[in-house]
Structure 1
Amino acid sequence: MIDRLQAQMQAMQMLTKMQDVTANNLANINTPGFKGSNVFQKMVQQRIDGQMVTKSVPQQQVDMQQGVLEPTGNPLDFGIKGKGFFVVENGEGAQLTRDGRMHFNSNGFLVDENGSRVMGDSGPIHMPEYLKATGRGADEANLEVADDGTIRLDGEVFDQLRIVQVEDTSQLERRGSNYLSAPEGAMVDDPSSKIMQGYYESSNVDPLNEMVDMMKTTKMFESQQRAMTTTDQMMGRATQQLGKF
């Protein structure tokens, strides 16, 4: 009966994690480049009282389904068609993102909406020449980014956006609403993904599916609560009966 109670507790932990993930997905419906998550069970071994015990632990995994590429006409908006990520760098090190809304800061570095520097083939993309060109007039600054990420200003190649892929998405960890991280060894260059200049990728979260999942999870959680209450009552009666002998 203790095993039954433990199984019910693990089920409730799993359902709680699923509900948290669903709530986070819904909160980021309008976040550009956001990738929703789902939850799966992972079997792990732990040593308890000198014995190895196998138990299920809820794990979160990023859903890499393609979001809709929305046209903006802004030459510094970039969408990724494929499973790759932009690499940006900030005070917390290298981060991965699908949010391609970018601009040049006052020092000529290409940065994202949070001010993190966008990485190219040889490090942060630094193009003070773009600021000089726009200073002469917007029509004179012709910035082109090819589908492989090659950046050209007035026809001259300056750099190439670094696009990477993480094949095992279970290694991705969230860092805020729109950043992900992965071990350096898990990131590989991704020549298959294509860059769409003048577009950004919208969130891939389907609100209808998430609401249905939330209602299902709530019902299953309530069912487990009732089952746990029943098990607890049965254990109580058993203890009372044993106490009479």
Structure 2
Amino acid sequence: MEDLVSETALIKLSRLVALRRELDAVANNVANVETTGFKAKRVRFQEYLAPVERAEITSKPERPVSLVAADAGFTDFSKGAPQVTGSPLDVAIDGDAFFVVQTPAGERYTRNGAFTLDSAGRLVTMAGDPVLTTTGPLALSPQEGEARIGADGVISTRQGPRGRLRLVRFEAPQNLQAHGGNLFRSDQPPRELAAGSVRLFQGALEKSNVQATLEMSRLVEINRAYQLVSSLLKEDGDLDELKRLAEF
């Protein structure tokens, strides 16, 4: 019976760890439901057979234990709903592309087109990072008047065209790594997009693609499952067994 309890404890513990990872991912999604351009994080689950070698865990060392694991997860890059803001420096992308932002850590990529001008007249994100055009950062003077951003990404003022927003695409966006709420980084160079490859909308933003109602329901379900497995571990005395094994 002691051997059986040990195997059961390991199975429950693996489930608990997987649930915790999913709970963290869903909670992060809910926290960013209002973050412009945010992409929901998902967790994959997979079964794996863990060989058990200690006699204290099982009397049959050759028999593997079936456990559940949550892998590193992935980002859902489906498009969020557009939101009209009327701000001339807000831009939404209609298509598969990312804006390029220059940060102290290097180039980062985002779907968040909420831009503004800093005290030096540079086009920047709300965090103050320069937004890149095809020729680098762009600075506008107050005398140029209000900027207009065309569907092709060309930025124009009373002085005429002043630059074109740099837009890029990734062949495998699932390999992008999150860097903050709505920024991503890549170990591979992106593909530069020509004018007209995607369409931009001035005066609009792409909202988070998190579906709040579904995520909140999932959050409740995961919490219940987590509490259930935790209580089973305590009731069956498996926590004491796991502590004993950890000290072995």
Q: TM-score, normalised by structure 2?
A: 0.76
Q: Aligned partner of 1:127: which letter?
A: A
2:150 matched to 1:146? Answer: yes
Higher percent of residues as helix: 1
Q: Aligned partner of 1:184: which letter?
A: Q
Q: State the partner residue of 2:143.
A: 132
2:223 to 208, 218, 221: 218
Q: In 2, Cα distance between the equivalents of 1:231 and 1:170?
A: 41
Higher percent of residues as strand: 1
Q: Quick one: structure 1 residues 188 and 63, their matched pair in 2 at CA, closer, same or farther if it must change by over 3 Å?
A: same
CA contact (8 A) 2:15 2:68 kept: no
Aligned to 1:184, the other structure's residue is in SS state: coil
Structure 2 gaps of 5+ residues are 54-66, 242-248
Q: Quick one: structure 1 residues 41 and 182, their matched pair in 2 at CA, closer, same or farther if it must change by over 3 Å?
A: farther
Q: In 1, Cα distance between the equivalents of 2:47 and 2:157?
A: 52
2:73 matched to 1:69? Answer: no
Compute the displacement of 1:102 (Å). 0.9
Trace 1:86-125 onto structure 2 (pairs within 5 A): 86-124=99-137
CA contact (8 A) 2:18 2:68 kept: no
Q: State the partner residue of 1:241.
A: none
Q: In 2, Cα distance between the equivalents of 1:122 and 1:193?
A: 19
Trace 1:136-215 onto structure 2 (pairs within 5 A): 141=146, 143-154=147-158, 156-185=160-189, 187-190=190-193, 192-215=197-220
2:33 matched to 1:29? Answer: yes
Q: Quick one: structure 1 residues 225 and 168, their matched pair in 2 at CA, closer, same or farther if it must change by over 3 Å?
A: farther
Q: Aligned partner of 1:158: which letter?
A: R
Structure 1 gaps of 5+ residues are 135-140, 237-245
Tell me the number of residue pairs that the alignment of Structure 1 and Structure 2 aligns. 223
CA contact (8 A) 1:61 1:169 kept: no
Trace 1:44-55 onto structure 2 (pairs within 5 A): none
Q: In 2, Cα distance between the equivalents of 1:201 and 1:26?
A: 17
Q: Aligned partner of 1:6: which letter?
A: L
Compute the displacement of 1:39 (Å). 1.0
The share of aligned pairs that are identical, in percent, is 26
Cα deviation, 1:134-181, whole Å, max 9, x if unaligned, reads 3xxxxxx4x332223222334733222112233434322222222222
Q: In 1, Cα distance between the equivalents of 2:116 and 2:102?
A: 15
Q: In 2, Cα distance between the equivalents of 1:117 and 1:111?
A: 4
Q: State the partner residue of 2:57.
A: none
Aligned to 1:95, the other structure's residue is in SS state: strand
CA contact (8 A) 2:11 2:68 kept: no
